[in-house]
Amino acid sequence: MEKIDEHRSFGGVQRRYTHASKVCNCDMTFALYLPPLADTRRVPVVYWLSGLTCTDENFVNKAGAQRVAAELGIAIVAPDTSPRGDDVADEDSYDMGKGAGFYVNATEEPWATHYQMYDYVVKELPSLLADEFGTTLDLSREAIFGHSMGGHGALVIGLRNIDRFAAISAFSPICAPTEVPWGHKAFPKYIGDDKQDWYAYDASYLLANADNPEALPPIRVEQGLADNFLDEQLHPHRLEEAADKVGANVTVHRREGYDHSYFFIASFMEDHLRFLAEHMGGES
């Protein structure tokens, strides 16, 4: 693992690392913010998953998360959104290929060789963090959040790993990808034509069919009502319907006038970090 960037920020440190990923069969990059508290004790970890066309840097540079993370004493890990490299399969479109990994484990070629983003986020990256930062990060206290495609990823990963994540939140998430154009384009190419296989990556389906609803972590969603993707691609009402069906703790905050951009994310970042920190518990 190689450190490729570092900046002091609100008493903590913002870094970027690159490493050889066995899961994705290429070099992967992630960002890590360590708050000042990490100098003296282990701190809980929040994972941020970014949206279509983004890298690990969009969140770091635009979300304004470091000030609040420093105050709360939490680390933030932000992986890239897809595999990268000359040998990695791609398409000439923003919603498929590089920058659009959808946080799935691809089973179809040419994508399966590299696009194993679910296992990367759930297994390989936490294992790497444990090996490299085991005395700094408290990986027994984790939460996850994200935006758009990354909101979809955060919801799916959180709902499929309820023993790991204390809370989940999302900005403008794709709540029912099996029903919308982005999912209809990506899922057949990544995981095949059998729609039964798609449901493993559909948050609304996972929520509605949860085996143990009372054990589900609390979920907070922020949705701008001026979001141009809202009606066609996002469908937060489907997540609410699923939550009502099983009695899950899901709250959708609809914000008048806000769009899909990082201006929206930055406006409510503090609320989300405080929500996640509250459910991860106190100092270790």
Alpha-carbon Rg for the chain in angstroms: 17
DSSP 209-264: T-S-GGGPPPEEEEEETT-TTIIIII-HHHHHHHHHHHT--EEEEEETT--SSHHH
The active-site residue out of 147, 152, 260, 272 is 260
> Which of 148, 169, 172, 204 is flagged as catalytic?
148
The yes-or-no answer on residue 227 being catalytic is yes
Q: Which of 56, 227, 235, 272 is catalytic?
A: 227
148 is catalytic: yes
Tokens of 24: 């994705």
Closest CA to 159 of 196, 190, 126, 204: 204
Rounded Cα–Cα distance for residues 112 and 95 (Å): 17
Cβ(164)–Cβ(215) below 8 Å:
no
**Run of H or E including 266:** helix 262-280
Return the beta strands (E) in the chain as ranges: 2-9, 12-21, 26-34, 43-49, 75-79, 137-147, 165-171, 219-224, 250-255
Closest CA to 155 of 146, 164, 107, 163: 146
Q: Which of the residues are catalytic?
A: 148, 227, 260
